[in-house]
Amino acid sequence: MIIHFGNPTVLFKLKNIPEATQEQLDAFKEKAKHEISEALAKVPGPFVPMQFGGPLITDRTKGYDFSLFARFKDRAALDTYAANDEHRWVIDNIIRPHTDIEETIDYDLEIPDDAW
């Protein structure tokens, strides 16, 4: 089984908006979370719907605002998902406009099928 951090598990930092107030930043985070979550729900591939959200404990996140978590049967399923047109559309039209793509961490971990 493949666990994707990023594209099973992905860590996102939202774009820096230096002139924004805290209220504007909070609104931007909520809008980004909503748009990304809605778009990802439409992308086929993982065992169960992908999970996307902010950190539970914020003092250990090193500035990362959101994480995406997904599970795939195997590497072939992950590769199919990554090449999917809907997945590419979400990245280009929803994720890139909201996040600092250079700071995104995409991490895949293979575990035994019976481990989860």
Q: Is residue 96 part of a domain?
A: yes
One-letter amino acid identity for 27?
A
Q: Which domain holds residue 17?
A: 2-62+72-115
Percent of the chain with pLDDT over 90: 1
| Structure token pair of residue 1 | 């089984």
Q: Is residue 41 part of a domain?
A: yes
Is residue 11 a contact partner of residue 67, using CB atoms and an 8 Å limit?
A: yes
Give the pLDDT of the chain (116 residues) as one tens digit per residue.
655 454 446 788 888 878 888 898 888 888 888 887 787 777 777 777 777 788 888 888 888 888 888 888 888 888 888 888 888 888 898 888 888 888 888 888 888 877 76
Q: Is residue 97 part of a domain?
A: yes
Q: Is residue 67 part of a domain?
A: no
Q: Is residue 79 part of a domain?
A: yes
Nearest CA to 100 out of 43, 3, 18, 23 is that of: 18
Q: Is residue 103 part of a domain?
A: yes
Domains in the chain, number: 1
What CATH number does the domain containing 42 carry? 3.30.70.100
Q: Is residue 16 part of a domain?
A: yes
Question: Residue length, the chain?
Answer: 116
pTM over the 0.95 mark: no
